[in-house]
Amino acid sequence: MAIGLTKEVINMTEKKVQTEKKPVVTAGVYDILRCPIVSEKAVKLSEGNAVAFEVDARATKQDVVRAIQAIYNVKPNKVNIVVVKGKVKHFRGRGTGTQRKVKKAYVSMPADAKLDLTANM
């Protein structure tokens, strides 16, 4: 035993600190799915039964699946999540700034699923 250290301090140093990603429990389903993304890429995806959503920064794939099942009553086939980092912008006379980062979820749906994105949002 080291000089001047108590058993509690030694035990604390021996334990490995693991950071677990906790699921978003307190957020509601409408807090997880912020808004559908309407862009050229999203329109091309919709032709192949896929939809793009902007999601909460803490949301996981399982959270997105649960939210889509609760709102649209459809179980998605697959969920891909992408974090788009904010661009650095330069302003004349004001220096620089950054845009916010956005977390997107690309959700592929079954072939027979029809989503009306404007109805429930």
Please name which of 38, 81, 90, 45 lies closest in space to residue 63, comparing C-alpha atoms: 81
Q: Which residues pair with 52 in a beta bridge?
A: 106
CA torsion sign for 21, 23, 27, 28 is positive
Q: 117 pLDDT exceeds 80? A: no
Radius of gyration of the chain (CA): 21
Query: Tens digit of pLDDT for each residue in 30-50?
Result: 899 999 999 999 889 888 889
The tokens for 62 are: 């399982």
Residue 25's pLDDT is: 47
Domain boundaries along the sequence of the chain? 21-111
Q: Which residue has the tokens 């990603």?
A: 21
Buried (b) or exposed (e) across 52-80, using 16+ Cβ within 10 A? Answer: bbebbeebbeebbbbbbeebbebebeebe
Please write the tens of the pLDDT for every residue from 59-85.
999 999 999 998 888 999 999 999 999
| Domain 21-111 part of CATH 1.10.1760.20 | no
Q: State what percent of residues in the chain have pLDDT above 70.
A: 74
Return d(Cα 104, Cα 73) in angstroms, integer: 21
